[in-house]
Amino acid sequence: MDALVRLIETATLDQRRETARLMGKAPRTAKGLLRMAERALARAEAAIAQARALLPPPRPVACGPNCPFCCHVRLAAAAPEILLVLAYVDSHWDDDSMTALMRKAANLDALTRGKNEAERERLRLPCPLLKDGSCAVHPVRPLSCRAVASVDVAACRRAHASRMAEGAPLYEPQYQIANGVGYGLYAGLADAGLGVENVEMNAALAVGLGKPGLARRWLNGETLFPLS
| Predicted local distance difference test score (pLDDT) of residue 121 | 82
Cα separations in angstroms, 128 against 54, 72, 169, 223: 35, 9, 25, 22
pLDDT digits (tens, 9 = 90+) for 53-102: 999 998 989 888 888 998 988 999 999 999 999 999 999 999 999 999 99
DSSP-assigned states of every residue in 44-90 = HHHHHHHHHHHS--SS-----TT--TTTTS--EEEHHHHHHHHHHHH
Do 38 and 84 contact (CB within 8 A), yes or no? Answer: yes
| Predicted local distance difference test score (pLDDT) of residue 215 | 97
| Predicted local distance difference test score (pLDDT) of residue 66 | 86
| Cis before 68? omega within 30 | no
| Predicted local distance difference test score (pLDDT) of residue 9 | 97
Tell me the one-letter amino acid at 154.
A
Return d(Cα 112, Cα 95) in angstroms, integer. Answer: 25
| Predicted local distance difference test score (pLDDT) of residue 67 | 87
Sign of CA dihedral 111, 77, 70, 92: positive
Return d(Cα 97, Cα 99) in angstroms, integer. Answer: 5
Residues of the chain with pLDDT under 50: none
| Predicted local distance difference test score (pLDDT) of residue 175 | 96
Residue 134's DSSP bridge partners are: 131
Give buried/exposed letters for 158-180 (b at 16+ CB in 10 A, else e). ebbeeebeeebbbbebbebbbbb
What is the DSSP pairing of strand 76-78 with strand 198-200? Answer: antiparallel
Do 225 and 207 contact (CB within 8 A), yes or no? Answer: yes
Q: What pTM was computed for the model?
A: 0.94
| Predicted local distance difference test score (pLDDT) of residue 12 | 98
